[in-house]
């Protein structure tokens, strides 16, 4: 795991669980929703990447906001630290205990509460799985404004708490724009009902300021014509020019613009079954473009014209437009499958960075030069949002290689005016690195808000904020 993880000390201010605590939780939740079973705790203590592992002795499954409130009120009075957990697909160690924090998992709070078929405003509980919401909305002719590879497991509560970006941000904006309100419970058990307001809500607290129990979100109507093109180009400058052309010539129907380099493509072809590169002559970069509009003929003509023009200008070496939904899914599989393919390599280091678009691939090249043949460096991500997913895969974890990667990657990002966390959050992985992207004054302000809302620091301790700024 990452170096900073092992240097954290368990705060002496937090109590340890005792039998009275467990009996209290059983009283308010019922025995079956108070989990002490070794196997289920093993899963809940381990993150999706199997990189971060806690030692919690208890997982609680509240069924409603009132139960979350009672749990937090009790934990706050007993100084028991907790970790809010959604789908546990987070990639920065934010969703699992660092030590013996009590796990509060929102999975049982998975009901759709209201949907307005005119405005598209959905109100649901935080534990709704993203894919289930998408399926529900599909029956109403609407879609979720965000989509990500973890859709089958991640919760809307976790998406809101990490201010997740994902594959549709280029079209529908970040959750800052679509989340209209939340209901949340603060450390002392107070229920904050900010659900009714239509003002925007700045989130991204990663469970350190409160537990999100309900979300109201604006969902766009489902449009009839979705087209996907998979194209290859020779160099990163062409990737950028294609992005400019796509924004200009596809305009309002552009709904996704993802890139992956040939190392990422090789990784997917080597580690996933049933995938193949639709481009006959392999190239250095691949781009997946999706358009979503309301007129199939118009949209297809537009996409074909765009592709032809890019070929004529020599920006694109080859390209193919999906003939049907299956082929479109096979193109998406190449992009969404990279994370899964990485899981199958021995070990990997993962960086989720925002950078000026023109700088993105310079970092990949610089790091590739720095590591030589010590490791395989891959660059892919949401090019349209200036979000690079820089991943390094290696046979097994190796402190020497980590020492070559960090702090180099963070310093490089900071020097080039980027952010060390584009969409995944800081979690435990990057809490000590926050100063590469936030000024000391901003961190101090974040710490004062944390102090105000969670004076004992029981909510997701050791995460987001550095020990120097806030230590329970």
CB of 312 to ligand FAD, least distance (A): 33
Using CB under 6 A as the binding rule, whether residue 350 contacts ligand S2G is answered as yes
Q: Tokens 């925007």 belong to which residue?
A: 200
- Residue 350 touches which member of ligand FAD, ligand S2G, none, C-beta under 5-8 Å by kind: ligand S2G
> Would you say 168 or 450 has its CB closer to ligand S2G?
168
3-state SS, residue 364? helix
> Would you say 379 or 457 has its CB closer to ligand S2G?
379
> Would you say 175 or 226 has its CB closer to ligand FAD?
175
Using CB under 6 A as the binding rule, whether residue 389 contacts ligand S2G is answered as yes
- Residue 391 touches which member of ligand S2G, ligand FAD, none, C-beta under 5-8 Å by kind: ligand S2G
Distance separating alpha carbons of residues 258 and 383, to the nearest angstrom: 6
Using CB under 6 A as the binding rule, whether residue 214 contacts ligand S2G is answered as no
Using CB under 6 A as the binding rule, whether residue 438 contacts ligand S2G is answered as no
Distance separating alpha carbons of residues 273 and 294, to the nearest angstrom: 34
- Residue 457 touches which member of ligand FAD, ligand S2G, none, C-beta under 5-8 Å by kind: none
Distance separating alpha carbons of residues 183 and 214, to the nearest angstrom: 5
How many other CB atoms are found less than 10 A from the CB of residue 351? 22
Contact 71, 62 (CB under 8 A): yes
| First-to-final CA distance of the chain | 23
What phi, psi does 47 have (nearest 5°)?
-80, 175
> Would you say 49 or 58 has its CB closer to ligand S2G?
49
Indicate which single residue of 178, 354, 391, 437 sits in contact with ligand S2G (rule: CB under 6 A).
391
CB of 461 to ligand FAD, least distance (A): 11
Residue nearest to ligand S2G (CB): 339
Interacting residues with ligand FAD (CB under 6 A): 48, 83-91, 94-95, 106, 126, 148-150, 154-155, 157-159, 161-162, 164-167, 206-207, 211-212, 339, 423-424, 427, 460
Contact 436, 414 (CB under 8 A): yes
Give me the count of residues in the chain: 472
- Residue 88 touches which member of ligand FAD, ligand S2G, none, C-beta under 5-8 Å by kind: ligand FAD
Using CB under 6 A as the binding rule, whether residue 339 contacts ligand S2G is answered as yes
- Residue 337 touches which member of ligand S2G, ligand FAD, none, C-beta under 5-8 Å by kind: none
The alpha helices in 214-295, defined as continuous H runs, are 236-249, 262-271
Residue nearest to ligand FAD (CB): 158
> Would you say 210 or 337 has its CB closer to ligand S2G?
337
User: Could you say which DSSP state residue 419 is in?
Assistant: B
Using CB under 6 A as the binding rule, whether residue 151 contacts ligand S2G is answered as no
Q: Tokens 């990737």 belong to which residue?
A: 239
86-125 positions binding ligand S2G, by CB under 6 A: 91
- Residue 85 touches which member of ligand FAD, ligand S2G, none, C-beta under 5-8 Å by kind: ligand FAD
Contact 131, 114 (CB under 8 A): no
Distance separating alpha carbons of residues 464 and 205, to the nearest angstrom: 8
CB of 145 to ligand S2G, least distance (A): 16
35-74 positions binding ligand S2G, by CB under 6 A: none
By the criterion CB under 6 A, which residues form the site for ligand S2G? 91, 149, 338-339, 350, 352, 389, 391
């Amino acid at each position: 795991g990452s170096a900073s993880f092992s240097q954290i000390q368990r705060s002496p201010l937090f109590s340890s669980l005792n039998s009275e605590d467990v009996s209290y939780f059983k009283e308010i939740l019922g025995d079956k929703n108070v989990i002490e079973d070794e196997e289920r705790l093993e899963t809940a203590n381990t993150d999706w990447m199997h990189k971060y592992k806690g030692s919690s002795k208890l997982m609680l499954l509240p069924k409603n906001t009132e139960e979350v409130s009672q749990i937090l009120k009790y934990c706050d009075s007993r100084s028991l630290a907790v970790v809010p957990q959604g789908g546990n697909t987070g990639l920065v160690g934010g969703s699992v205990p660092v030590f013996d924090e009590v796990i509060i998992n929102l999975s049982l709070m998975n009901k759709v509460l209201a949907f307005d078929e005119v405005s598209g405003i959905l109100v649901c509980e935080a534990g709704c799985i993203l894919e289930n919401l998408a399926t529900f909305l599909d029956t109403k002719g609407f879609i979720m404004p965000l989509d990500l590879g973890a859709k089958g497991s991640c919760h809307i509560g976790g998406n809101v708490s990490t201010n997740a970006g994902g594959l549709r941000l280029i079209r529908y904006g970040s959750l800052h724009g679509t989340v209209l309100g939340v209901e949340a419970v603060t450390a002392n058990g107070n229920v904050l009902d900010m659900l009714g307001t239509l003002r925007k809500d700045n989130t991204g607290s990663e469970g350190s300021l409160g537990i999100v129990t309900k979300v109201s979100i604006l969902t766009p109507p489902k449009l009839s014509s979705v087209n996907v093109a998979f194209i290859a180009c020779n160099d990163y400058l062409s990737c950028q020019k294609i992005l400019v052309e796509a924004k200009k010539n596809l305009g309002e129907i552009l709904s996704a613009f993802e890139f992956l380099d040939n190392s990422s493509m090789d990784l997917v072809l080597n580690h996933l079954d049933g995938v193949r590169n639709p481009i006959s002559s392999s190239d250095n970069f691949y781009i997946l473009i999706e358009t979503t509009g309301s007129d199939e003929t118009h949209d297809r003509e537009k996409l074909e014209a765009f592709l032809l023009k890019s070929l004529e200008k020599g920006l694109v070496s080859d390209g193919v437009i999906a003939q049907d939904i299956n082929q479109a899914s096979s193109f998406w599989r190449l992009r969404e499958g990279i994370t899964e393919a990485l899981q199958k390599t021995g070990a990997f280091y993962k960086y989720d960075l925002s950078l000026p678009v023109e700088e993105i691939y310079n970092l990949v090249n610089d790091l590739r030069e720095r590591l030589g043949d010590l490791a395989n460096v891959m660059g892919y991500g949401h090019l349209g949002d200036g979000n690079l997913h820089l991943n390094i895969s290696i046979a097994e974890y190796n402190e020497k290689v980590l020492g070559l990667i960090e702090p180099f990657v963070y310093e490089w990002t900071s020097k080039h005016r980027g952010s060390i966390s584009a969409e995944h959050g800081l979690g435990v992985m990057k809490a000590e690195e926050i100063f590469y992207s936030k000024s000391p004054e901003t961190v101090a302000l974040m710490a004062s808000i944390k102090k105000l809302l969670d004076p004992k620091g029981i909510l997701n301790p050791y995460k987001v904020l550095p020990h120097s700024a806030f230590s329970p």
